[in-house]
Structure 1
């Protein structure tokens, strides 16, 4: 993939400063029947491991117990709509459908009550993007067949009647909805924040044909304007991350490889596709018969963490045996670096480090999440 400029913007991706190195990883799992757990693991412990196998039976042990935090799902919620999670700086948010959010601060180890989830927003069917210390959430309302687009930020609120002075807190604001053509395609298959720090690119596909990529849009968080970029797609799955050292977006490719691609121009018309390439080494999806879910998190300085959930060896994948309270799954947590070799080919750098854990899972659709702070 050739390196290209993109509007002469800030190359650091967050609009402010280079991401700092993270010391801990926070895993979010649906590993008990009443809800979700957050587990804290030392990233340096994974880094110190020798390169290990990531086969379905490569198990190093169990996650540390007790869990850092357990969150019970709201009573009566649908399993797929009960909660979704996002991170903003050192805060991990757990959003519950039409209820108050919970906020866990990884610096202070304090759990607080967060903002009430807007009625227009439906949990579990959206994407979250951090831009300028604000959290943008796009969700799809299936009954109305419309998207809801909201932004959450910490800001002054109305003056307190007793204290007679302004207060501060988390608040939501409704943003312009996507264009009608965006809504008819319904599903966001991939998205990334431009290195300018305020333009969010999204590729959408038709709900009835999820494998067909139909078009890419962008939203400018400064002007609150949507833009149509054409019938081409971001080549990765789900979220992509800008890496300044590579001058590229990086994400998961559908075949199990890590993908880097040219950053799209905010204004260039007529583009058909982006230049992109993958690593030679397959990092996940090595066994399609046992693979369940995978997610990628950027830790800064060209370093990533990949979390993949697979069915434990000896457990039948096509039955409910993989789900429940009996550790029917294996969680592979892999940290690795990325770089270009002398031929300009994308490759993992240093030595990949992997730890595997026996875990329980309760919903096949939920992707284990990892946040680095």
Structure 2
């Protein structure tokens, strides 16, 4: 009887959805980066004010190291993109031929993708479903002008068959330069909306490979926003009020010419823009209306305007965005953790990155 109950418990446990982990990527040594797998349940309640930032910070735990990946060049400007269980390390270089490293968090294996078809020094990488898209400005040597270009990576090869490959797509109908200020995937999972500085907001249908311009307005986000089913809205960092979260109505992809969607900012501040100390900030969605904010700041006594190499702090804060009975949206249940990092070099442009897998 005891054995049967134990087997039933084990079967029930295997059917429960696996809770993800926060994968933090930090360039904490000279020749590459480290991927840390962190347990957000260990974070402490609080907001992390200036009064005790230094005293509560700890070193990144060695027992949470998942893998170390070497970079081909110490000053290489690389970018990380996540889709499914895989993290892609794109090395943006003037010379084509750089292969892309792919880390599978489920198997802890590292493979490589073939190099992109053209150099991607200033590429904007977009993820829609399991596919990755790269937007770039290329130089047309025959007509002596710059032109937009677009490539697609995916889908992933099946086990034991096929290989990764890049595919050249029709360039987007957007005037140069293409500087993406905000992006959000539609709830249908096949259409992505992009706000391009001084150009307006566009959508790209990955099924029909078609672009649509929706207006000269911009989405109220800084970086990537995420669809939260509990709110039936997009949620991301607010571009109008630094330190706050913005909640925006979802745009219909069929509405080619529409007005700027209605949006509101959450009353609770989630980070403080410490001016000289503030380096970067990003938001990661963990599902069920829960988010993790990653803020990179310098330690006290360091100034990014006078020093090219400085020691930094990483402030990680998890919280839930929910609608109250009064109708207002609040950021609740905030828990934080602060970590010390060895250094941060301005010339590398390498900000720590976080993914929920």
TM-score, structure 1 normalization: 0.80
Matched residues in 1 for 2:58 and 2:139: separation?
A: 40
Q: Is 2:247 the partner of 1:260?
A: yes
**Shift of residue 316 of structure 1?**
2.5
Q: Unaligned regions of 5+ residues in structure 2, if any?
A: 1-16
Instruction: Give distance in 1, aligned partners of 2:39 and 2:139.
Output: 39
C-alpha RMSD of matched pairs (Å): 2.3
Shift of 1:84: 1.4
What residue is the counterpart of 2:335 in the other structure? 353
In the alignment, is the contact (CA less than 8 A) between 1:126 and 1:140 conserved in 2? no
Q: 1:73 is matched with which residue? A: 71
Distance 1:93 1:123, change over 3 A: farther
2:188 counterpart residue number: 196
Q: Structure 1: which 5+ residue stretches go unaligned? A: 1-19, 158-165, 206-212
Correspondent of 2:202 among 217, 221, 224: 217
Q: Name the SS of the counterpart of 1:30 in structure 2.
A: strand
* Corresponding residue number in structure 1 for 2:176: 184
Q: Deviations over 1:266-323 (max 9, x none)?
A: 12244231111111121123422311100101011101110000111122332226x2
**Counterpart for residue 57 of structure 1:** 54
**Offset at 1:52?**
4.4
Per the TM alignment, residue 136 of structure 1 is displaced from its structure 2 partner at its CA by 2.2
Q: Is the 8 A contact 1:21 1:299 kept in 2?
A: no
- Which secondary structure state, in structure 1, belongs to the residue aligned with residue 181 of structure 2? strand
Instruction: Report the Cα distance in structure 2 between the residues aligned to 1:276 and 1:142, rounded to whole angstroms.
Output: 38
Find the residue that maps to 1:57 and give its secondary structure: helix
SS of match in other structure, 2:41: helix
Contact 1:54-1:332 within 8 A present in 2 as well: no
8 Å Cα contact 2:117/2:166 also seen in 1 = no
**Structure 1 position 197, deviation (Å):** 0.8
Q: CA deviation at 1:41?
A: 1.2
Residue of structure 2 in register with 1:6 after alignment: none
Stretch moving more, 221-230 or 166-175: 166-175
Match of 2:87 in 1: 92
Q: 1:111 to 1:285 in 2, by over 3 A?
A: same
Is the contact between residue 35 and residue 73 of structure 1 (CA under 8 Å) also seen in structure 2? yes
1:278-297 aligned within 5 A? 278-297=265-284
User: What is the CA-CA distance between 1:339 and the residue it aligns to?
Assistant: 0.8
The CA deviation at 1:251 is: 0.8
CA distance in 1, matches of 2:156, 2:286: 27
The whole-number CA distance in structure 2 between the counterparts of 1:156 and 1:270 is 38
Counterpart in the other structure of 1:231: 216
Alignment counterpart, residue 297 of structure 2, candidates 301, 306, 310? 310
Distance 1:156 1:93 in 2: 15
Measured at CA, do residues 22 and 295 of structure 1 come closer, stay the same or move farther in structure 2, by a change above 3 Å?
Answer: farther
Residue number in structure 2 paired with 1:111:
110
Which one has the largest radius of gyration? 2
Q: Shift of residue 342 of structure 1? A: 2.0
Q: Which residue of 1 aligns with 2:33?
A: 36
Please give the residue correspondences for 1:95-174 in structure 2 after superposition, counting only pairs within 5 Å.
Answer: 95-97=90-92, 98-112=97-111, 114-123=112-121, 125-131=123-129, 133-141=130-138, 145-154=146-155, 167-174=161-168
> What is the TM-score of this pair, normalised by structure 2?
0.84
Match status 1:343 vs 2:322: no
Counterparts of 1:30 and 1:104, CA distance in 2? 16
Q: Deviations over 1:78-119 (max 9, x none)?
A: x3x53211111111111224322111111111122x211213
Q: Distance in 2 between matches of 1:59 and 1:289?
A: 21
Per the alignment, residue 160 of structure 1 pairs with none
